[in-house]
């Protein structure tokens, strides 16, 4: 099949706008946040159906995160006018990330902000490993602010004290529970936890996956093509991901190769 070439417009006397790639890269590095990027790879365990919940590569999520790189990126909230509109669930925890073109982003890549923190409050099911009660959290725990158990609808919540819980030394997604005297009679198997964690996102869209321009060498007059920084739309990981890593923290395969 033959391809018809498009006729170019008349460029005589038309102004040319040149972008300075080094200026863009320097701006990102000087003004950006320290971040760690993980490449997302679709796990082949799911085949043409759904991921295996027993898979020790993706933990049933369907995505494997490999080759972490520490770099810098400009992260900003999305300007969305919701003054007279209902807030859309799709906009929750959403931000725009701009990085240099050397960090090629793709769908589901994981972004961790190394020096910025958030507070998460969530209700989690109590699980057991032998006699050890524990809960999974959505993010690796840095510090626990408070932890409550339910007793009954007519009684105050039971707040566990610092000696009655601890973050697992093997898996920062796990909080071990050791309430004094055991769980109350009316305990419903759920725990409310409020904790500090590093801000973490996954890429959900790439509206500016390609930004390119040209420049002319002043000596040779030769035209050179170059890429500019790319932008991605990210969403907080707990809106995107499934459950947390397994209790022991072991058995999860590391597929990084760089």
User: What is the DSSP track for 103-117?
Assistant: S---TT-EEEEEEEE
Distance CA 73, CA 121 (A): 27
Decide if pLDDT at 89 tops 50.
no
Decide if pLDDT at 196 tops 90.
yes
Q: What is the pLDDT of residue 55?
A: 83
Distance CA 250, CA 244 (A): 13
- Rounded mean pLDDT, 146-172: 90
pLDDT digits (tens, 9 = 90+) for 5-15: 888 777 777 66
- The number of C-alpha atoms within 13 Å of 112 and in the hemisphere containing its C-beta is 13
Segment of 36-40, 45-49, 237-241 carrying the highest mean pLDDT? 36-40
Spell out the long-range contacts of 143-146 with Cβ–Cβ below 8 A and sequence spacing 24 or more. Answer: 143/195, 143/196, 144/175, 144/193, 144/194, 144/195, 144/196, 145/119, 145/194, 145/195, 145/196, 146/193, 146/194
- Rounded mean pLDDT, 177-199: 90
Decide if pLDDT at 253 tops 80.
no
pLDDT digits (tens, 9 = 90+) for 44-84: 988 877 888 778 888 778 888 999 999 999 988 765 555 55
Output the pTM of the full model: 0.79
Decide if pLDDT at 153 tops 50.
yes
The token pair that represents 46 in the structure block: 């799911």
The token pair that represents 23 in the structure block: 């200026």
Decide if pLDDT at 248 tops 70.
no
DSSP label at 91? G
Dihedral class, residue 32 (left if φ above 0, else alpha if ψ from -120 to 50, else beta): beta
């Amino acid at each position: 099949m033959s391809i018809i070439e498009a006729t170019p417009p008349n460029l005589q006397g038309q102004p040319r706008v040149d972008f300075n790639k080094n200026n863009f890269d320097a701006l990102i590095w000087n003004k950006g946040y320290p971040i760690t990027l993980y490449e997302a790879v679709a796990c082949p365990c799911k085949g043409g159906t759904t991921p295996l919940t027993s898979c020790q590569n993706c933990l049933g999520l369907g995505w494997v995160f490999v080759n972490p790189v520490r770099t810098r990126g400009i992260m900003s909230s999305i300007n969305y006018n919701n003054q007279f509109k209902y807030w859309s669930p799709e906009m929750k925890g959403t931000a725009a990330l701009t990085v240099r073109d050397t960090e090629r982003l793709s769908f589901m890549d994981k972004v961790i902000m190394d020096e910025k923190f958030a507070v998460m409050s969530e209700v989690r099911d109590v699980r057991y490993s032998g006699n050890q009660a524990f809960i999974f959290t959505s993010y690796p725990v840095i510090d626990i602010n408070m932890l409550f158990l339910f007793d009954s609808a007519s009684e105050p919540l039971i707040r566990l004290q610092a000696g009655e819980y601890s973050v697992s030394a093997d898996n920062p997604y796990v909080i071990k529970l050791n309430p004094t005297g055991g769980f109350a009679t009316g305990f419903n198997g759920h725990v409310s936890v409020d904790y500090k964690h590093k801000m973490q996102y996954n890429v959900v869209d790439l509206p500016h996956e390609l930004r390119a321009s040209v420049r002319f060498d002043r000596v040779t007059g030769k035209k050179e093509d170059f890429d500019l920084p790319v932008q991605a739309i990210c969403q907080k990981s707990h809106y995107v991901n499934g459950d947390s890593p397994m209790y022991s923290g072991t058995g999860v395969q590391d597929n990084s190769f760089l």
